[in-house]
């Protein structure tokens, strides 16, 4: 397990910045969950879909495993992903307990976070040893994180475009994802760590796309609300005129 890159001040700065932003990203759903739990009486409709949290948990678990067997990884990556695991488990548990789709959520957790992770762990430990295990896991790590970096934001972007509503998108989470990805991308480039360059780059690109989509449909929602308000006002004026004409 590697330490902080104290010999490279710029890499150290991006490492700390990325860690802080990632922690803020894991904490960003808390207001939503707090509002649902304490203000809305466990109204699960106030929550977003559970899939991003389940996928994020898998990514955190894979990062922890990779960090534990790869001596070149910075220990800050281990700490932040343990932090992420804890909060993702909390969010998933709330969904699992109070969502009407318990079977679907349970199956997704079993397939991704239990079976797939266990399969990766067992195969890499049984079939390869030492340096070979690290190399094979690095490829698996690269492929899986690249896929998850695309799937999570893509599903959100698709939902927003399909419904033409930003209700299911959290702008600050997208902003933190973009800033965090930029920080980690700069960090891994500075220390020449190729394992997470592609996932960080993909996450950065899709984070920017998410924010662009959010801004586009935010104004669309505003225009729709204004149009609806104008229609209601016009209808009210017509009704008043009709009532006035009736009594005149």
Average pLDDT over residues 168-172: 69
| 11, 183 Cβ separation under 8 angstroms | no
Contact partners, residue 24, CB within 8 Å, separation at least 6: 176
Q: What is the pTM of this model?
A: 0.75
| 28, 43 Cβ separation under 8 angstroms | no
Size of the chain, expressed as the number of residues it contains:
248
Give the residue from 62, 52, 61 showing the smallest Cα distance to 25. 52
**Token pair for 143:** 């492929």
> Is residue 184 over pLDDT 60?
yes
What pLDDT was estimated at residue 242?
A: 54
> Is residue 48 over pLDDT 60?
yes
| 27, 85 Cβ separation under 8 angstroms | no
> Is residue 86 over pLDDT 90?
yes
Buried b (16+ CB within 10 A) or exposed e, 36-65: beeeeeeeeeebbebbbbbbbbbbbbbbbb
% of residues, the chain, pLDDT over 70: 71
Using pLDDT thresholds of 50, 70 and 90, give the confidence band for residue 248. Answer: low
160: how many CB neighbours lie within 10 A of its CB?
Answer: 21
pLDDT digits (tens, 9 = 90+) for 106-133: 898 998 889 989 998 888 888 877 677 7
pLDDT averaged over every residue in the chain: 75
What pLDDT was estimated at residue 236?
A: 45
**Token pair for 140:** 């698996």
pLDDT digits (tens, 9 = 90+) for 187-236: 878 877 766 777 778 778 878 888 888 887 776 655 454 444 444 444 44
DSSP state of 205: H
- State which of 70-79, 119-128, 162-171 shows the largest mean pLDDT: 119-128
Buried b (16+ CB within 10 A) or exposed e, 77-101: bbebbebbbebbbebbebbbeebee
């Amino acid at each position: 397990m590697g330490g902080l890159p104290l010999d490279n001040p710029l890499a150290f700065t991006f490492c700390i910045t990325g860690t802080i932003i990632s922690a803020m990203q894991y904490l960003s759903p808390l207001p939503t969950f707090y509002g649902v739990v304490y203000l809305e009486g466990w109204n699960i409709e106030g929550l977003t879909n559970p899939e991003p949290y389940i996928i994020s948990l898998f990514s955190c678990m894979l990062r922890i495993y990779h960090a534990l067997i790869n001596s070149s990884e910075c220990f800050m990556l281990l700490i932040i992903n343990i932090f992420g695991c804890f909060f993702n488990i909390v969010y998933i548990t709330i969904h699992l307990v109070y969502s009407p789709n318990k079977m679907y959520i349970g199956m997704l957790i079993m397939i991704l976070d239990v079976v797939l992770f266990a399969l990766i762990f067992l195969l890499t430990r049984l079939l390869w040893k030492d340096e070979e295990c690290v190399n094979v896991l690095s490829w698996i790590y690269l492929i899986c994180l690249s896929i998850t970096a695309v799937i999570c934001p893509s599903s959100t972007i698709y939902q927003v475009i399909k419904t033409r509503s930003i209700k299911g998108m959290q702008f600050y989470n997208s902003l933190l994802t973009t800033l965090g990805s930029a920080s980690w991308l700069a960090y891994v480039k500075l220390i020449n760590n190729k394992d997470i360059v592609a996932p960080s780059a993909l996450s950065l690109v899709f984070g920017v796309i998410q924010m662009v989509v959010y801004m586009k449909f935010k104004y669309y929602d505003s225009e729709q609300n204004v149009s609806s308000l104008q229609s209601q006002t016009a209808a009210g004026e017509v009704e008043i005129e009709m009532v006035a004409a009736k009594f005149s």
